[in-house]
């Protein structure tokens, strides 16, 4: 079962505004009528309980929303790009790998989350009209979309978590009682990822997850580490298997209990059934007497089982069903979160409003709008160039440039263009 994957998402770029002048036959004076660009498409995640896994991303790991259209003449604005809505299970953890930030631990069914906001459309020259500039020759390019690398991690949701040291018989039991087909072999760490199975017993159905074998200091990352301990958080109760041929079954039992406690203390509050495996072996009977008297007083002794002879398995499943039925009405009064909220995790695109000294006599203006206007400037048109410099002055960038120490003869860079200060 796939439980973790990395994907790349890119929201749409905003369309460019254009420079255009009216040239209708019966309007002698014309006027600017360049339209604005449309906004780029957003990318959303929609938490949907009908989605049970994230295997869909195996074949498609890159998602790009549609760009906004450019503006056109007669003040026609470009269409906004189409959004992308990606459906994922509510139990999915979303991490921004670029910033190493957990965006959301898990969602709620029906909740839509805006992860990458589309770029804003650029302004056409009609938007730049002022009392001192009746015919602007400048326009604005659209903002770039957001590019984000995400890790999607499925928190496996199962009623019972099967735990124990390596070679305790977890895979053998899961394959015996469920539809799961885990790899089974007589060596540690045969299972390298959580295995989920559906158990049918009587008229009831139980979901179970096998947690790969844990070693001492797993909570610190030793062995398979915390990678799988976290899956226990979503289980309702635990089935703790202890190897019947162990030289010290009590030590094995306490090792797993300690790792859970060190990882997250509230795991100790989960109801636990303890069983000794490999009941068909001669040494198991003696180990059974020792283990039964040394388990936690809050734990339930489930006896001895054998996947070879089927000894004790039906009794353990009956105990599991009794616990499940006693928990059916729990948490019914929990308050429902607002499922319709829209959360924006994308960085806000806007003015950075700073001047950076790149090197001696070279200064860079980092104003987002100035860079977008610069992208559309016709540097061969002296009037358009003059209007651009006036725009840079009007937004305060030239004043900031002088305060930063720039002087005549220094090179100034805005976006992809540059000039020498006079």
Find out whether 70 and 15 touch, Cβ atoms under 8 Å. yes
Find out whether 403 and 362 touch, Cβ atoms under 8 Å. no
Q: For residue 179, what pLDDT is reported?
A: 74
Q: What CATH number did the domain enclosing 16 receive?
A: 2.70.210.12
User: Is 10 within a domain?
Assistant: yes
What region, left, alpha or beta, does residue 282 occupy, with left being phi > 0 and alpha being psi -120 to 50 degrees?
alpha
pTM, to two decimals: 0.68
Same-domain check for residues 167 and 307: yes
* Mean pLDDT of all residues in 174-183: 74
Which letter does DSSP use for residue 196 in this model?
E
Q: For residue 9, what pLDDT is reported?
A: 96
CA–CA dist 400, 390 (Å, integer): 14
Q: What is the per-residue pLDDT across 63-100, written as a single tens digit (0 to 9) for each?
A: 999 999 999 988 899 999 999 999 999 889 999 998 88
User: Is 333 within a domain?
Assistant: no
Residues 6 or more apart whose CB falls under 8 angstroms from that of 155 comprise: 91, 92, 93, 106, 230, 231, 233, 234
Q: What CATH number did the domain enclosing 372 receive?
A: 3.30.300.350
Q: What CATH number did the domain enclosing 317 receive?
A: 3.40.50.300
Same-domain check for residues 360 and 398: yes
Same-domain check for residues 220 and 134: no
Phi, psi of 150 (to 5 degrees): -115, 150
Same-domain check for residues 307 and 395: no
Q: Pinpoint the alpha helices (H) of 168-248.
A: 170-177, 226-229
321 pLDDT band (50/70/90 cuts)? confident
Q: For residue 291, what pLDDT is reported?
A: 95
User: Is 384 within a domain?
Assistant: yes
Angle between helix 284-292 and helix 249-263 axes, rounded to 10 deg? 50
User: Is 336 within a domain?
Assistant: no
Find out whether 239 and 160 touch, Cβ atoms under 8 Å. yes
User: Which of residues 58 and 274 earns the better pLDDT score?
Assistant: 274
Which letter does DSSP use for residue 233 in this model?
G
User: Which of residues 166 and 121 earns the better pLDDT score?
Assistant: 121
Same-domain check for residues 39 and 135: yes
Same-domain check for residues 130 and 181: no
Q: For residue 223, what pLDDT is reported?
A: 46
Q: What is the per-residue pLDDT across 383-401, written as a single tens digit (0 to 9) for each?
A: 999 999 999 999 898 889 9
244 pLDDT band (50/70/90 cuts)? very high
Q: Which helix (H) or strand (E) holds 362?
A: strand 362-366
Per-range mean pLDDT, top range of 40-54, 189-203, 329-343, 346-360: 40-54
Q: For residue 331, what pLDDT is reported?
A: 47
Q: Domain limits at 366?
A: 354-420
Q: Is 116 helix (H, G, I), strand (E, B) or coil?
A: strand
Q: For residue 215, what pLDDT is reported?
A: 55
What region, left, alpha or beta, does residue 220 occupy, with left being phi > 0 and alpha being psi -120 to 50 degrees?
alpha
Which letter does DSSP use for residue 305 in this model?
-
Total domains present in the chain: 3
Final residue belonging to a domain, choices 155, 181, 206: 155
Q: Which helix (H) or strand (E) holds 257?
A: helix 249-263
User: Is 337 within a domain?
Assistant: no
Q: What is the per-residue pLDDT across 268-317, written as a single tens digit (0 to 9) for each?
A: 888 899 999 999 998 898 899 999 999 999 899 999 999 999 999 999 99
Q: Which residues sit opposite 113 in a β-bridge?
A: 45, 343
Residues 6 or more apart whose CB falls under 8 angstroms from that of 219 comprise: 225, 226, 229, 259, 262, 263
CA–CA dist 46, 341 (Å, integer): 11
User: Is 343 within a domain?
Assistant: no
- CB count in 10 Å sphere of residue 355: 21
| For the chain, percent of residues with pLDDT exceeding 90 | 42
**What is the pLDDT of the chain when averaged over all its residues?**
84
Q: For residue 335, what pLDDT is reported?
A: 46
* Mean pLDDT of all residues in 357-370: 90
Q: How deeply is 375 buried, as exposed, middle or buried, from its count of CB atoms within 10 A (0-12, 13-18, 19+)?
A: middle
């Amino acid at each position: 079962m796939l439980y973790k994957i990395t994907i790349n998402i890119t929201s749409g770029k905003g369309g460019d505004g254009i420079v255009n002048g009216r040239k209708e036959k019966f309007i002698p004076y014309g006027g600017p009528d360049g339209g604005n660009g449309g906004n780029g498409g957003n990318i959303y995640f929609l938490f949907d309980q009908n989605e049970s896994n994230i295997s869909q991303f195996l074949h498609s790991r890159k998602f790009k929303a549609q760009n906004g259209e450019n503006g056109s003449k007669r003040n026609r604005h470009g269409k906004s790009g189409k959004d992308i809505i990606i459906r994922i299970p509510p139990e999915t953890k979303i991490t921004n790998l670029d910033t190493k930030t957990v965006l959301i631990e898990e969602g709620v069914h029906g909740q839509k989350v805006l992860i990458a906001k589309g770029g804003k459309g650029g302004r056409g020259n009609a938007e730049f009209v002022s009392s001192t500039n009746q015919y602007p020759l400048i326009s604005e390019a659209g903002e770039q979309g957001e590019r984000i690398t995400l890790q999607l991690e499925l928190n496996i949701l199962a009623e019972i978590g099967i735990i124990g040291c390596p070679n305790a018989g977890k895979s053998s039991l899961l394959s015996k009682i469920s539809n799961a087909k885990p790899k089974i072999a007589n060596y540690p760490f045969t299972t390298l990822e959580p295995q989920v199975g559906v158990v049918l017993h009587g008229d009831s159905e139980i979901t179970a997850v096998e947690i790969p074998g844990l070693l001492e200091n797993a909570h610190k990352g030793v062995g398979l580490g915390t990678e799988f301990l976290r899956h226990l958080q979503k289980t309702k109760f635990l089935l703790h298997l202890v190897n019947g041929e162990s030289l010290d079954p009590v030590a094995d039992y306490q090792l797993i209990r300690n790792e859970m406690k060190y990882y997250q203390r509230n795991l100790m509050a989960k109801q636990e059934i303890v069983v000794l495996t490999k009941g068909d072996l001669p040494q198991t009977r003696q180990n059974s007497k020792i283990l039964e008297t040394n388990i936690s007083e809050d734990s339930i002794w489930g006896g001895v089982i054998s996947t070879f002879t089927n000894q004790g398995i039906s009794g353990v499943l009956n105990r599991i069903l009794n616990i499940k039925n006693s928990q059916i009405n729990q948490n019914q009064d929990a308050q429902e979160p607002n499922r319709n909220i829209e959360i924006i995790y994308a960085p806000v695109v806007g003015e950075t409003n700073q001047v950076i000294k790149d090197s001696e006599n070279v200064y860079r203006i980092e104003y987002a709008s100035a860079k977008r206007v610069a992208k559309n400037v016709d540097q061969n048109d002296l009037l358009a160039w003059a209007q651009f410099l006036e725009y840079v002055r009007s937004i305060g960038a030239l004043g900031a440039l002088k305060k930063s120490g720039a002087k005549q003869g220094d090179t100034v860079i805005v976006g992809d263009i540059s000039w020498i200060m006079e």
